[in-house]
């Protein structure tokens, strides 16, 4: 299906480009800025040709330049990229390059109903309405794709919670010795520290008594000496038949006259690490909360500018989980989110006061909302024309 549906309008557009005289009025254009942009450069068009869904017109103009004492002229080359929107209105872009950079692979905005599954193999960008683009990635297992999206989008939340709980357990060990501390996800802070602190003795006490079996079930642990400091056993190695990772406990004395103590736990990967500890912990959260048994696809409404987008059935983009650590019995409310909409296959309904309504059917997929990228200089050129039109 040709991008130009209105044969009469296209014929007049071609004739306008050929004669360098605009035969169309503002009502034929998507906006007053598109009309004025074409009108401004029409007489400077040197050649044009049709390529795919667009007309590319070469624009040249002379700019005086000073070189030492001489004033010369340079020829500037620009391009007008001209097409039609879904309402058969002319759209005009202004670019340094003779091709479009709009950020999508397929333009399906003109269709009222589209099933995109036969159009692409794995991953594609579709302009669906106005400046809205769907990035669609087919998936084999929607639930696994959803969990993967949750993990990657919520990685910082998971990591901070994991380190916070470990630091709180270190603080609990010190509390058994009546040593008080302040805890956050970054470190355990102890106000007051002797200058002759035996760090190896402190760290050995922590790593030998720190219990994390409920966080990393199914992993064996052993203590390893520091790779950099002799006789300092500060590393806990977690391993099972498939994976290995390590946790280091690192003390730091801060302050010169009245020193304080910081104790940090940090995970360190190895060449044998196939799954990071945050992912192991995330799988533990999902298993204990029985999320996969209780989560279902729902209808989701989104507003993007003046676009209303209704996903008839997708997994929720946010999920709240109450998780309790069995050993410490501390309970946390964890909010996980995903950037993508994940579905087992759905219809997406779009509506806009100017662009009308349409339906896009997608297969089992992850879907991201993007925006059309305009060619370089288009916004600059149109802003100048609009400011001149309204305020001069």
**Strands lying side by side in the sheet with 45-51:** 45-51, 54-67, 70-84, 90-95
Residues 278 and 160 in one domain: yes
Domain range for residue 93? 7-101+374-391
Span 37-68, pLDDT tens digits: 999 999 999 999 988 778 999 999 888 877 66
- pLDDT tens digits for range 113-141: 999 999 999 999 999 988 899 999 999 99
Whether 288 maps to a domain, the answer reads no
Share of the chain above pLDDT 90, in %: 70
Residues 163 and 261 in one domain: yes
204 plus 214 within the same structural domain: yes
Residues 90 and 184 in one domain: no
Total domains, the chain = 3
* Same domain? 181 vs 248: yes
Domain contains 187: yes
3-18 pLDDT, tens digit per residue, is 444 558 888 999 999 9
Residue that terminates a domain, selected from 282, 305, 320: 282
- Rounded Cα gap, residues 201 and 108, in angstroms: 68
Distance CA 385, CA 37 (A): 7
| Segment 341-347 mean pLDDT | 97
With respect to residue 1, please indicate whether it lies within any of the assigned structural domains: no
Same domain, 262 and 178: yes
DSSP 141-206: -HHHHHHHHHHHHTHHHHHHHHHHHHHHHHHHHHHTTT---EE-SS-EEES---TT--HHHHHHHH
261 and 191 in one domain? yes
Q: What is the DSSP letter of 98?
A: S
Task: Identify whether 111 is part of a domain.
Answer: yes
Beta strands in 269-392 (DSSP E): 298-304, 307-314, 318-324, 331-337, 341-343, 346-352, 356-362, 365-371
Q: Is residue 287 part of a domain?
A: no
Query: Which stretch of 98-112, 123-137, 251-265 has the lowest confidence by average pLDDT?
Result: 98-112
Q: Tell me the C-alpha distance between 339 and 317, whole Å.
A: 7
Q: Is the residue at 327 inside a domain? A: yes
- Is 222 a member of any domain? yes
Q: Are residues 240 and 314 in the same domain?
A: no
Strand 113-115 relative to strand 356-362, pairing: parallel
Point out which residues pair with 221 in neighbouring strands.
238
Q: Quickly state the pLDDT bin for 1 (edges 50, 70, 90).
A: very low
* Cα 317 to Cα 153, 293, 321, 370, 376, distances in angstroms: 10, 17, 13, 16, 33
Residue of 214, 197, 194, 193 lying closest to 205 (CA atoms): 197
* pTM to 2 decimal places: 0.81
Same domain, 176 and 239: yes
Shared domain check, 324 and 265: no
Nearest to 128 by CA among 141, 114, 138, 148: 114
Contacts of 48 (CB under 8 A, 6+ apart): 17, 55, 56, 57, 58
What's the first-to-final CA gap in the chain, in angstroms? 42
- pLDDT score of 230: 65
Average pLDDT over the chain, rounded to an integer: 90
Shared-domain flag, residues 209 and 172 = yes
Distance of alpha carbon 218 from alpha carbon 121, whole angstroms:
39
Q: How far is CA 224 from CA 84, 221, 230, in A?
A: 67, 10, 11
pLDDT of residue 172: 96
**Last-in-domain residue among 260, 282, 304:** 282
Mean pLDDT confidence for 97-121 = 88
Residue 101 pLDDT greater than 80, yes or no: no
pLDDT at 366: 98
Q: Looking at the structure, tell me whether residues 162 and 245 fall in a common domain.
A: yes
> Does a structural domain hold residue 2?
no
Q: Of the candidates 282, 308, 329, which is a domain's last residue? A: 282
């Amino acid at each position: 299906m040709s991008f130009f549906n209105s044969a009469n309008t296209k014929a007049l557009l071609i004739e306008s480009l050929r004669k360098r005289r605009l035969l169309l009025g503002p009502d034929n254009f998507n906006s007053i800025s598109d009309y004025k942009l074409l009108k401004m450069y029409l007489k400077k068009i040197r050649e044009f040709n049709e390529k795919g869904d667009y007309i590319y017109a070469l624009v040249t103009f002379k700019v005086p330049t000073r070189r030492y004492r001489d004033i010369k002229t340079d020829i500037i080359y620009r391009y007008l990229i001209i097409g039609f929107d879904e309402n058969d209105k002319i759209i005009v872009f202004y670019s340094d390059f003779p091709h479009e950079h709009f950020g999508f692979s397929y333009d399906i905005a003109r269709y009222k109903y589209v099933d995109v599954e036969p159009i692409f193999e794995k991953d594609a960008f579709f302009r669906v309405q106005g400046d809205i683009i769907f990035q669609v990635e087919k998936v084999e297992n929607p639930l696994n794709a959803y969990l993967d999206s949750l993990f990657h989008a919520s990685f910082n939340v998971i990591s901070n919670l994991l380190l916070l709980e470990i630091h709180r357990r270190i603080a609990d060990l010190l509390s058994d010795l009546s040593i008080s501390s302040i805890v956050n996800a970054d470190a355990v802070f102890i106000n007051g520290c002797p200058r002759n602190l035996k760090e190896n003795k402190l760290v050995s006490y922590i790593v030998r008594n720190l219990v994390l079996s409920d966080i990393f079930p199914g992993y064996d642990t052993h203590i390893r000496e520091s790779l950099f400091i002799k006789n300092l056993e500060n590393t806990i190695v977690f391993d099972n038949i498939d994976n290995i990772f390590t946790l280091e406990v690192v003390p730091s004395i801060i302050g010169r006259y009245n020193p304080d103590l910081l104790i940090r736990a940090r995970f360190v990967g190895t060449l044998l690490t196939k799954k990071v500890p945050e992912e192991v912990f995330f799988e533990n959260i999902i298993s204990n909360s029985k999320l996969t048994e209780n989560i279902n696809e729902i209808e989701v409404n989104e507003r993007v500018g003046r676009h209303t987008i209704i996903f008839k059935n997708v997994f929720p983009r946010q999920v709240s989980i109450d998780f309790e650590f069995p050993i410490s019995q501390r309970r946390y409310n964890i909010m996980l989110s995903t950037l993508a909409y994940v579905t087992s296959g759905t219809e997406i309904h779009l509506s806009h006061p100017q662009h009308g309504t349409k339906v896009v059917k997608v297969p089992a997929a992850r879907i991201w909302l993007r925006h059309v990228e305009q060619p370089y200089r288009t916004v600059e050129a149109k802003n100048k024309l609009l400011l001149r039109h309204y305020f001069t």
